[in-house]
Amino acid sequence: MKSITTLFVLVAFVFGMIFLPNMSQAAVQESTCYFSVLFNENKIPSDFSAKLASYGGEITYTVPEIGFAQVKGNSEMFSELKSFSSVNLVNPSVSWSMPEVKKNGLKSDLTLDTDQSSLWDLEWDIKRVTQNGASYHLGTGSHNVVVGIIDSGIAREHPDLVANLLPGSKNFVPAGGYRNTEPYETGNTGEYDDRMGHGSHIAGTIAAHGKMLGVAPDTGIRAYRVFGESMAETAWIAAAIVAAANDGVDVISLSQSGFDLIGQAFCIDPLTGKKVALGNDIADFLAYKKAIRYAINKGSLVVVAAGNEGMNLTAKGNVTDYLNSIYGSYGLNFVGAGFEVPGTVPGVVTVSATGPDDTLALYSNFGPGFIDLAAPGGNISGFLEYQQNGKLDEYYEKELYKSEFCLSTDNHGDYSYNAGTSMAVPKVAAVAALIIDKYGQIGPGKVAEMLYKKSIEPVSGKEQSYFGSGRLNAVKALTD
């Protein structure tokens, strides 16, 4: 039944396209517990592995460049780790989830000529950014510039992506996948194929060149896979950010989001049941921030999503209330001021999402001083209206999602529709790549400045809290 199938697909797109971190119950309920450890220095102490083993624990993943590790052991390990002099922060590991992306079954035969791009008329969002393809006459990018996509991988044989997928893609999902629940994961670094579809959707938005066209259809792309088919660990994501920076990628597209705290975080000790103070930061989120800073210092521009909670993230108490509502059942409690990560990390480009009418998407986070600029990510207003009126069958029969969701490549050689701030991020990453291709290696700070001052349709007043400096425009970015 088409209507039921589509319902589940679209609901997943609407409510989960940004990766929301979920505190794993494994740390409390299972005999094997996982903990994130941030060290005082940007390295893994030489005696840490042996010391950990003496308590019956072992290291599962390390990111030595930022002094971060994930370990596993029994519930007693939490208290032991907190006592290590080399350890700055430790907490039960935070995991990151993403809903499965489904193909929509579009089939259709193409070149850079938009008249011969058989899906061009469905790309309302790409048309909006490129001014109906006008920016292609000013620049389409080249393989001299690389966008690193930290996501669920890329469909390496998709006909629209294969020409721009450069060597060097990597997999960061270890053997066994998420906590040994994915036996098909081998840990082979070359296995970057997309099992979920999200990363392939991002890739097509940036650099598709076939039946559909991306914003920068001749730009080089590379996959850094951090998702299998379920959850990802913070350590995998941090390692991918560091690796992308070490590989010299020019732009990192990062459609993930979490939160940090100035105040106090508490958790329930899984052994004693007592409330334990974790400090001002959770190790996972601070490691995330350190990895981002590492990449920026290496010369990579990092473009991130504002998130899909539909909140004013600069309003006092909003983030803290949200954290407590999400993580309270996992034994975590937060007091103080909360901030989105990595959107508030200095130097990143934080992107909100707009719909077909250029207004802020219903799900998009916003806030004065938080949003840097906006790009089309699709909207859900029509979907919700039909849902509330009990007319979803009519919504699907009329294919109304085509006018508010964003079309891009999927992981099966076909195409799918999505909505979310995840869909806005790659458009900005693509325009940043076009700027670098035209003006050279001017550094992430200068590229960001050109995005904010040159590559937008400016806004003022209250709209700045929604759209930052303005709405993305590739023609303006490339016009002298």
Residues 326-373 have pLDDT tens digits of 777 777 788 887 777 788 888 999 999 999 999 999 999 999 999 999
Report which of residues 111 and 467 the model is more confident about.
467
Q: By the 8 A CB rule, do 342 and 285 touch?
A: no
Nearest Cα neighbor of 262 from 243, 280, 278, 275 is: 280
Displacement of CA 269 from its chain's centroid (Å): 30
**Class of the 25-92 domain?**
alpha beta
- Give ranges for CATH 3.30.70.80 in the chain: 25-92
pLDDT computed for residue 260 by the predictor = 65
Label residue 57 by pLDDT band (50, 70, 90): very high
pLDDT computed for residue 317 by the predictor = 85
Label residue 276 by pLDDT band (50, 70, 90): confident
Q: By the 8 A CB rule, do 148 and 244 touch?
A: yes
Roughly how many angstroms between the first and final C-alpha of the chain, as a whole number?
A: 52
Query: What mean pLDDT comes out for the span 129-146?
Result: 97
pLDDT computed for residue 15 by the predictor = 25
Note the helical H segments in 136-208. 198-207
Displacement of CA 47 from its chain's centroid (Å): 34
- Give ranges for CATH 3.40.50.200 in the chain: 2-24+94-478
Residues marked as catalytic: 151, 198, 422
Dist. CA 304–CA 451, nearest whole Å? 14
Nearest Cα neighbor of 122 from 397, 415, 458, 402 is: 402
Nearest Cα neighbor of 217 from 420, 439, 474, 401 is: 474
Dist. CA 423–CA 352, nearest whole Å? 10
Domain 2-24+94-478 in CATH 3.40.50.200: yes
pLDDT computed for residue 326 by the predictor = 77
Question: In angstroms, what CA-CA distances link 151 with 193, 328, 426?
Answer: 11, 28, 11
CA angle 363, 104, 181 (to 5 degrees): 80
pLDDT computed for residue 267 by the predictor = 76
